[in-house]
Structure 1
Amino acid sequence: MSLVLITGASQGIGAAIARAFAEQDDARLALVSRNEAKLEVVAADCRGRGGQADVFPCDVTDDAAVEALGRDVADQLGVPDVLVNNAGLFTPGGFLDTSPETFRRQIEVNAVSAFLVTRAFLPALLARGSGRVLMMGSVASVRGYPGGAAYGAAKHAVLGLARALREETKGTGVGVTVLLPGATLTPSWEGAGVEADRLMPPEDVARVAVEVAGLSPRSVVEEVLIRPALGDV
């Protein structure tokens, strides 16, 4: 049975990824987020789809909390086969309208969390000689948007982190993939005035995650850019 750990699993793309993996025959899920109540709802949905799901409430920007998460998952479930760093935060704002606190927070939630969580589990993956690490980047990882200075900086950092990790793990049996989705129908777009059919369904991003994680150890999809059919919003 494959163990899949997903951060930011309580809603949006993370919840969609959890549901998609739950429908696989051999997956057990470790669902991570700060919001335990929402995690439990997603976990129940996953169980209803035939998967096994355990909930691990955690602030993935907190060093000590992530270290404890690593120990708890190892003790209860073992070493993940797939690690999905999906935790993220989008707070729009122009450069001069973005406070230092807002800037730092988006860096922490989007990029620092991916570093901390991967660091907690990578030694065990390397020791075993297998595993997949998926990083949730964005179209904002590869281009800039007005009103998105902090988010763009954070997602560029995620892409840089994934690229460096990929180079360091070549030949170890651990594969690294960064997903770069465009505008996706998640709570981040609530109140934005954009029609739902203009946005990608999160299930499409989840399907890509499942597919790239399921490749043979001889292949690694390094980067996947996914955009709405009509282009960026």
Structure 2
Amino acid sequence: MTNAEYYDFGGVLVEFKQEQLKQYSLIMEEWAPKEASIAIAVGDQYIYYLARGHGLHIKEGQKFQTNSIADLVLRKGCRTEAVLVDTFSQAPYFGIGYPIEINGEKAALVVILPPHHSVPLTAPYKFLTGKQEDEWKPIPIEKVSHIESLQKKTWFYANKEPYKTSIPLKDLQLRLPDSFLRIHRSYIVNISFIDRIVRDFSSNLLVQLLDGTELPVSQSYMADVRSALGF
């Protein structure tokens, strides 16, 4: 970014100086945790983004999503906080937004944090209760090999048997033990059930489970998988 950027708002070019935007960022850095990312939005787009430990797929000039923290702050004109899901990676995050004004334009200053900063610490699941036909069965969490989101329904698997649960994948992720790893917007795996990691014909990573199940690793989770498994 140069010393100043011009953004088009309804045919009117508005100038935003880099130094001015950085001042807001520096103020937030004074109290925000090191893993927090910081964004500033005006009109219908982001005009500044500082990616740190926990961030989203945001670029300067990118339009923000409806019902995102930036959108809610600009529509309501008040401080807003919520746990939301990034539509690109399907990863949950905690956002805090503040209404500010830059060059006479209403703006939103957004701090993006991991979800545990807002969700009360809750004991990890010891079991999941799944449904098969007209029966419900509690399954010890250590016997669950992987969890899948399919056609807006959530399924988990134990001994290759599928069980349906009413808990969305994003909510399950917040209370699963550390042995579970998100590898895709649609899959979470129990590391204890991973047999090997291989590449497919397109050089994408595949996780092979002990029961022979193969699950893809998406690009957005590649770094997390490599970090968690140390390769």
Which one has more relative contact order, counting CA pairs under 8 Å at least 6 apart? Answer: 1
With normalisation by structure 2, the TM-score equals 0.22
More helix by share: 1
More strand by share: 2
Pick the structure with greater CA Rg.
2
With normalisation by structure 1, the TM-score equals 0.22
